[in-house]
């Protein structure tokens, strides 16, 4: 039995660690990093101060199905790491570790997402048929947007 699925992505960003971490600390940047096809919107009133215990509510649409999602920052270790987990939403488990490390005059950003769908065998079938690829597409889009965000900034 699969306990959870894992997605791991690394991206080198040609900017200093402090600048990159500051960008990811700003919850408003989440909307710009999320594909338009998800209709992602932050519901939590701003400004949002990110720290351990911060909860953020979102609304999105997955293939026309409206979804409300609440995450909590579980670990906050600036400027090297933070972890957000789903409190309520579409997954049975969503645990996203964001790591940042200086490397080669820039910053290596590593995302590790452990997730699991509800509904037992039906969830596993949905993962194989659609969800795995959707999660990958979301992070592919994010990779592209991050590249665009940090190109040409000095």
Instruction: Provide the mean pLDDT of the chain.
Output: 94
Q: pTM for the full model?
A: 0.92
State the pLDDT at residue 3. 86
Q: Is the pLDDT score of 153 beyond 70?
A: no
Q: Is the pLDDT score of 113 beyond 90?
A: yes
Instruction: Write out pLDDT tens, residues 43-75.
Output: 999 899 999 999 999 999 988 999 999 999 999
Beta sheet of 106-116, edge-to-edge order: 5-13, 106-116, 93-103, 81-88, 65-77, 55-62, 41-42
For the record, the structure tokens of 11 come out as 């991206």
Instruction: Write out pLDDT tens, residues 13-25.
Output: 999 999 999 999 9
């Amino acid at each position: 039995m699969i306990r959870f699925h894992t997605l791991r992505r690394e991206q080198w960003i040609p900017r200093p660690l402090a600048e990159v971490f500051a960008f990811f600390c700003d919850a408003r940047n989440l909307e710009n990093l999320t594909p338009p096809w998800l209709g992602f919107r932050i519901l939590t009133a701003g400004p949002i101060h990110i720290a351990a215990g911060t909860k953020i509510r979102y609304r999105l649409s997955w293939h026309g199905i409206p979804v409300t999602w609440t995450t909590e920052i579980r670990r906050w270790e600036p400027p090297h790491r933070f972890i957000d987990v789903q409190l309520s939403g579409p997954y049975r488990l969503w645990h996203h570790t964001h790591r940042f490390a200086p490397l080669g005059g820039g910053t290596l950003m590593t995302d590790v997402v452990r997730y699991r769908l509800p509904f037992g065998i039906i969830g596993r079938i949905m993962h194989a048929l659609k969800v795995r690829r959707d999660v990958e597409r979301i992070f592919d889009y994010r990779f592209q947007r991050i590249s665009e965000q940090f190109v040409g900034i000095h």
